[in-house]
Amino acid sequence: MSTPLFPATLAGSLPKPVWLAETHKLWPQWKAQGEDLAAAQRDATLLWLKLQEDAGLDVVTDGEQSRQHFVHGFLEFVEGIDFEHKVEMGIRGDRYKAMVPQVVGPLRLKGRVHQSEARLLRAHTDRKIKFTLPGPMTIADTVADRFYGDKVKMAMAFAALLNQEAHALQADGVNVIQFDEPAFNVFLDEVPVWGIAALETAAAGLTCTTAVHICYGYGIQANIDWKKTLGEQWRQYEKIFPAIARSSIGQVSLECYHSHVPPQLMALLAGKDVLVGVIDVASDVVETPEQVADTIGTALQYVPREHLYACTNCGMAPMDREVARRKLEALAQGAAIARQRWG
C-alpha cells in the first residue's frame, strides 16, 4: 500500500478484552494461564488488528495484547531479573509507586520477546506494522537495580538487549520500531547526556523506520494529578527536542490535543516525522473527525505536511474498549478530512 498524506496510526497499546485480562487497569491480571492464555492473546491481537483496519488506520500495532505492562512485558524475557521478589519503588520522578522487579545479575535475553505477535500480524495484514518496545531510560526507571550500581550502565545493558530484539522484529517484517520513553519527559537534564545515546544504541543498525514516543503518560489518576502541577504551559519538550532532532531516530510521537504543550515546540523537530497526538487518551469523550482535522491543521503550522502523521497522545491500554475503538475511527476519519482540506 502506498502511504497517504497524514497517515493514521496509534501510540501502541489498546484495551484488553474482558475475557483476556482485567479491564481498566495498567497492570491487569490475566484471565487464563499457559497455552490457554497464549491462545487468548493471539485471538485478542487478531481482533484488534481487524478493528484497526476497519477504523482505517494506515500503520497498525499488536495493541500490546500479549504484555501485562509495556515495560514489564519486555523484562519477563530477560535473564538476570528477579520477578519473584518485587519491591515498591517511586517511578517517573516519584510521581507514583509501583511494584517493580529487581535486577540481580548480568542481563541477557532468554530468547525472542515478540516473535509470535510480530509474525502473527505480518501473516494477517498488508498494512505497515509498528512494534513498540520500552526505551532504555524508561526501563531503568521501572526496575530496581541490585547489581549494576550505575543507572547509565544498566540502561546501556538494556539498550543492547532492545537492539537484539529490534533487529529480530525487523527480520520478522516489522516496518516501524518505536521506543517508548515517557521518562524523557521527567529526567530532562539526563536526556542529552545519556538518554539519546542509550536510545541510539537500542536502534543501532536498523534499516526499518525508527520512532520514539514521549508523552505525559496514560490517563491514570497519578498522571492527571501530576499534569495539574505542570503549569499553564508544558515546556518539557523544549528541553529535549533539540537533542532528539540531532539524533538518528526517524519519528517522534508526541502529545498535542488537550495538552498544554505549546504547539510551536513541534518546530524543534525539523527533519523528523512527527506523530501528532490528535486523540486524548485521558478522556472518554470521543473526538469528532472535525476536531481531529483541526488539530492536524494546527500542527501543519509547524510540521511540513510530508512529515505529519495523525496519532494518539499515548497508549490506550487502561481505557474502555468501545471508547478506544470509536476514538480510532475518529482518528482515521479526521485524517481523511485533513487530506481533503490540505491535500
For 108, the grid coordinates are 541477557
- Quickly count: other Cβ atoms within 10 Å of residue 247's Cβ: 18
Query: In degrees, to the nearest 5, what angle opens at C-alpha 185 toward C-alphas 244 and 279?
Result: 90
Nearer of residues 44 and 314 to Zn ion, judged by Cβ: 314
Nearer to Zn ion, 281 or 338 (CB): 281
Identify which of residues 68 and 102 has a Cβ nearer to Zn ion in the complex: 68
Q: Per CB under 5 A, which region of 183-191, 203-211, 212-220, 225-233 contacts Zn ion? A: 212-220
| Segment near Zn ion (CB under 5 A); pick from 97-105, 125-133, 214-222, 324-332 | 214-222
Number of residues that bind Zn ion (CB under 5 A): 2
Left if phi > 0, otherwise alpha if psi is -120 to 50, otherwise beta: which for 6? left
Q: Are 114 and 162 in contact (CB under 8 A)?
A: no
215 binds Zn ion (CB under 5 A): yes
Q: How far is the CB of 213 from Zn ion (least distance, A)?
A: 6
Smallest gap from residue 141 Cβ to Zn ion (A): 14
Span interacting with Zn ion, options 13-21, 171-179, 189-197, 208-216, rule CB under 5 A: 208-216
**Mask of contacts with Zn ion, 270-309, x by CB under 5 A?**
----------------------------------------
Cβ 181 to Zn ion shortest distance, Å: 9
The answer to whether residues 159 and 203 touch, using CB atoms and an 8 Å cutoff, is: no
Q: Whose Cβ is closer to Zn ion: residue 215's or residue 268's? A: 215
Smallest gap from Cβ 179 to Zn ion, in A, equals 11
> Cell 494546527 sits at which residue?
298
Can you tell me which of 314, 317, 324, 338 binds Zn ion, judged by CB under 5 A?
Answer: 314
Grid coordinates of 155: 540502561
Q: Is 71 near Zn ion (CB under 5 A)?
A: no
Taking CA atoms, 162 is separated from 25, 75, 179, 343, in Å, by 26, 10, 9, 38
CA-nearest of 110, 30, 92 to 66 is: 30
From the CB of 259, what's the least distance to Zn ion, in Å? 11
At 43, list the grid cell: 485471538
Residue 123 burial (CB count, 10 A): 9
Q: How far is the CB of 74 from Zn ion (least distance, A)?
A: 15
Output DSSP code: residue 111. Answer: S
Question: What is the rounded CA–CA span in Å between residue 250 and residue 178?
Answer: 10
**Interface with Zn ion (CB under 5 A):** 215, 314
